[in-house]
A and B are shown apart, each in its own frame.
Chain A
Amino acid sequence: MSEAMNPKIVEALKKLSTQEQDLLVRVLKVERDKLYQEKPRVKEDLLKAVREVYK
């Protein structure tokens, strides 16, 4: 079993700066925490993440 991430995904991620990658990780965490809710309310959490990374 390969431990590597799909190279195409790595290439896609390289398009993001360190700051943008930081925000992406936060976005995915917010979404994962509420992934199994039918209608999750994530807008405020996502905006908070954006404002914390870019201030």
Chain B
Amino acid sequence: MILQSLTIENFRQFYGKQTLEFARGADGRNVTLLHGFNGAGKTTLLNAFVWCLYGKTTPDFGSPERIESERAFAEAAVNGRVDVRVALHYNLRGEEFLVERSQTVQKAGESEARRLDQKLKMWKREAGELVAPAGDEFQFQQRINQMLPEGLYPFFFFNGERVEWLAKKEASQEVERGIKIFLDVEIYERSLKHLRRDVAKELSDELRNLGGDELKSALDQEALLKQAEEEAQARKSTIDTNLSSIEDSIVAIEQRQAGIAALAEFARQRDRLKEDQSRCEKDIRSVEESLARSISDDGYLAFGDAALAATAELVVAARERGELPAKLKPQFVTDLLEKRLCICSRTLDPIKDEVEVKHLCDWREKVGLAELEEFVSQTSAGIASLRQRRERCFEELERAQTRRSALFAERTSLQDRLASVLDQMGDEQHGEDAHALKVQLDGLKKKEIEQLADQRRTVDEIGDLQKKLSEIGSKIKSLRVLDVRGALIKTQKEAVEKIADVLEEIFDIQKHDVREYLSGQVAHIWNDAAIKPYTAGVFDDFSLSLTKTVNGAVQPVHGASTGEKQVLALSFVGSLVKRAKENLENKAAAAQMGLQVGGEYPLVMDSPFGSLEDDYRAKVAQWIPRLAHQVVLLVSKTQWRDEVERETRPRVGREYILELHTQKKGADRSIVIAGTEYPYVVETRDPIEQTIIREVN
């Protein structure tokens, strides 16, 4: 989607018809900049986009039902009408569209308004003319949603001061959904769900009516197992959500505890002990991995002592019997035979000396003896080496076990000390709040343990059901259907199941790749911008992550600042847009299979630099225009200064001032842009405020 222009008419403080043209990236200038004083209409303009596309406004838009211009309403006669319109002109994959949403407001009394239904119209350019495509309003809305789904507009039209919601754990579902839809992962999940739940089931039902008793029974069994698996998956999903919620509550309570003065020192001790616990657990895992490696590599030697000793004894015995070293070398016998000589140097006649020649041939057959000698020699050396390795393995195992025992003891000690600190934190002497928090925490931890146990059981149950489903699936495949129609349906069912399996595989690959990519991008952008040594990324559950390393252990950062969360959220949005753009560029191969289409998405950001420090502002200003194809920035004077202007100015292709006209005395303000002074706030005698959009040349 490439924005061309936005026309607003009688929309809040924008009286009459006013149009904005957007920078589209010519000469690398992809930023459209709008300067506006507080209340001049920056948030209103952001909402004009949202209203035009979806007929609604953002949650922070006050009095959303009153979208009409106050001035236009005042000027209308009673029973007269005010037409509110927003039209968005854009290009989508090479085609040009115009979408217009309008609403008529009838002036029923001096201050009484009757709002009529909204209307949505759409035009598409064909042969140079804008023509209305076939379809009704519902279908036009569908087309808009195909281009930019309604639920996901907050990723692209947002207020920078509130964007940090994306960085909160509870936003992980929205983040995951956004990732799946924008990056073309959702389609696989939906397809395989519909194929398995609806299509395969329908075909099974048809087949059931055509098959024999055994097939009917197997299909019934399969249906029951599928239902049980679906229920177990739903249970697991609920448990996962519960666990996530419990973890969040625990963190929140621990933060509240830290905020109580009497508990501050205990909270510090608790956090230190938890860090130590985390490091100790990591060390235990490391020692256990080392133990497993030693056992896997050399563990067999522990049982080889008898075999090694017996082999050594056999070699000694052979030497004592004079069998080793071999007294006769095979090459010596071969040479005698070739020269026709006896071992006593007499010349041999092959006919007369037939017996002697046979003896020599027999000896030559004993060449294995020399090979045995070589083998025994190698084995003797090997036995010594294996015995040394065996000793070393025992030593390493002993060291690792000693270390593990020490770590186990440390873990127990840390657990005891932590329990003691937690108990002290709940002591009533620290106040009722402290005690109540401890009681809440204990309750939550108990629930967490119960949920973890349920999770384990459910995962096992799902594994068991999937195994049984696989078995019954194989059985169904092996059962023959005599009827031609039955055979066809069986083939259809098998094809659908196979395609669903492949789709599941593709879904997992895509999901994994996309998460890895976004995590890498977010980390890269964060590293570039951040001051603190935190690591940013995307967790497996698709929540945005901020972690730190303490004593070698990775821990989540709790209590990140609003600014840090904003940078994290912006780096995520930027990465998402970048990937979608790459998917679009990458579509040639993928489109063959109807996979990965991707897209170009603009970023429309109100107050994009929110509450960021100067360093962060400069970085955000630097990378946002590089990641997104098209950017619209709505800024106040204080947001547009120094480092932001320095970084963004070379990218600005179109620039406007939202000139606010107000009755307030002494309100006149001006703004200097590239050395020229422009009116910013204008004092007027008109009692109704309005904003005029002026382009900066």
**Residues of chain A at the chain B interface (Cβ within 8 Å):** 1-6, 8-9, 12-13, 15-16, 19-21, 23-25, 27-29, 31-32, 35-37, 40, 42-43, 46-47, 50-51, 53-55
27 contacts between A and B (CB under 8 A): A1-B582, A2-B586, A3-B589, A4-B589, A5-B589, A9-B506, A12-B505, A13-B502, A13-B506, A15-B502, A16-B498, A19-B495, A24-B503, A24-B593, A25-B594, A29-B594, A31-B187, A31-B190, A32-B594, A35-B186, A35-B190, A36-B142, A46-B198, A47-B203, A50-B492, A50-B496, A54-B488
Q: Quick check: A3 and B588 within 8 Å, CB to CB? A: yes
Q: Quick check: A25 and B491 within 8 Å, CB to CB? A: no
Q: Quick check: B506 and A12 within 8 Å, CB to CB? A: yes
Residues of A within 8 A of B476 (CB): none
Interface residues of B in 485-533 (CB under 8 A from A): 488, 491-492, 495-496, 498-499, 502-503, 505-506, 509-510, 513
Q: Which of B488, B491, B586, B593 has the most CB of A within 10 A?
A: B593
Q: Of the candidates A6, A23, A47, which one forms a contact with B499 in the assembled complex, judged by CB atoms under 8 Å apart?
A: A23
Closest Cβ neighbor of B500 among chain A residues: A27
Known: A13-B593, A54-B492. A1 touches B585 (CB 8 A): yes
Residues of A within 8 A of B596 (CB): 5
Please report the number of residue pairs spanning A and B whose Cβ atoms sit closer than 8 angstroms: 103
B377 to chain A, nearest CB (A): 48
A51 to chain B, nearest CB (A): 7
Q: Quick check: A20 and B498 within 8 Å, CB to CB? A: yes
Q: Quick check: A46 and B194 within 8 Å, CB to CB? A: yes
Residues of B within 8 A of A13 (CB): 502, 506, 593
A29 to B88 Cα, complex, angstroms: 28
A9 to B590 Cα, complex, angstroms: 10
A20 to chain B, nearest CB (A): 5
Residues of A within 8 A of B513 (CB): 6
Name 6 extra pairs, CB < 8 A, besides A3-B586, A35-B181, A42-B194.
A16-B502, A32-B597, A43-B194, A43-B202, A54-B488, A55-B488
A42 to chain B, nearest CB (A): 5
Residues of B within 8 A of A29 (CB): 594
Residues of B within 8 A of A19 (CB): 495
Known: A16-B498, A51-B492. A46 touches B199 (CB 8 A): yes
Residues of A within 8 A of B469 (CB): none
Q: Quick check: B142 and A37 within 8 Å, CB to CB? A: yes
Residues of B within 8 A of A27 (CB): 191, 195, 499, 503
Instruction: Please tell me the size bucket of the interface on B.
Output: 35 or more
Residues of A within 8 A of B495 (CB): 19-20, 23, 50, 53-54
A46 to B340 Cα, complex, angstroms: 87
State the 8 A-B residue pairs at the shortest beta-carbon distance, nearest first: A28-B594, A36-B145, A43-B198, A12-B505, A5-B589, A31-B191, A54-B492, A36-B149
Q: Quick check: A5 and B590 within 8 Å, CB to CB? A: yes
Closest Cβ neighbor of A46 among chain B residues: B199
A42 to B586 Cα, complex, angstroms: 28
Q: Quick check: B194 and A35 within 8 Å, CB to CB? A: no
Known: A16-B498, A27-B499, A35-B190. A50 touches B199 (CB 8 A): yes
B641 to chain A, nearest CB (A): 36
Residues of B within 8 A of A55 (CB): 488
Known: A6-B513, A9-B509. A35 touches B146 (CB 8 A): yes
Residues of B within 8 A of A15 (CB): 498, 502
Residues of B within 8 A of A21 (CB): 593
- Secondary structure at the A interface, as helix, strand, loop or mixed, is helix
A29 to B590 Cα, complex, angstroms: 13
B149 to chain A, nearest CB (A): 5
Residues of A within 8 A of B142 (CB): 36-37
* Per-position 1/0 for B323-347, Cβ under 8 A of A: 0000000000000000000000000
Closest Cβ neighbor of A51 among chain B residues: B492
A21 to B503 Cα, complex, angstroms: 11
Q: Which of A1, A8, A28, A46 has the most CB of B within 10 A?
A: A28
Residues of B within 8 A of A42 (CB): 194, 198
Interface residue? B360 (CB, 8 A): no
Residues of B within 8 A of A1 (CB): 582, 585-586
Residues of B within 8 A of A32 (CB): 187, 594, 597
Q: Quick check: B499 and A24 within 8 Å, CB to CB? A: yes
Interface residue? B280 (CB, 8 A): no
Q: Quick check: A28 and B191 within 8 Å, CB to CB? A: yes
Closest Cβ neighbor of B147 among chain A residues: A36
Interface residue? B595 (CB, 8 A): yes
Residues of A within 8 A of B589 (CB): 3-5
B246 to chain A, nearest CB (A): 29
A54 to B513 Cα, complex, angstroms: 33
A34 to chain B, nearest CB (A): 9
A51 to B146 Cα, complex, angstroms: 27
Residues of A within 8 A of B506 (CB): 9, 12-13
Q: Which of A16, A31, A47, A53 has the most CB of B within 10 A?
A: A31
A2 to B505 Cα, complex, angstroms: 22
A21 to B506 Cα, complex, angstroms: 13
Residues of A within 8 A of B590 (CB): 5
Q: Quick check: A24 and B492 within 8 Å, CB to CB? A: no
Closest Cβ neighbor of A42 among chain B residues: B194
Residues of B within 8 A of A25 (CB): 593-594
A3 to B584 Cα, complex, angstroms: 10
Q: Which of B149, B194, B492 has the most CB of A within 10 A?
A: B194
A35 to B594 Cα, complex, angstroms: 13
Closest Cβ neighbor of A38 among chain B residues: B151
Q: Which of B502, B506, B585 has the most CB of A within 10 A?
A: B502
B530 to chain A, nearest CB (A): 28
A49 to B326 Cα, complex, angstroms: 79
Closest Cβ neighbor of A55 among chain B residues: B488
Q: Quick check: B509 and A12 within 8 Å, CB to CB? A: yes
Q: Quick check: A20 and B492 within 8 Å, CB to CB? A: no
Closest Cβ neighbor of B590 among chain A residues: A5
Q: Quick check: A28 and B595 within 8 Å, CB to CB? A: yes
Interface residues of B in 579-614 (CB under 8 A from A): 582, 585-586, 588-590, 593-597
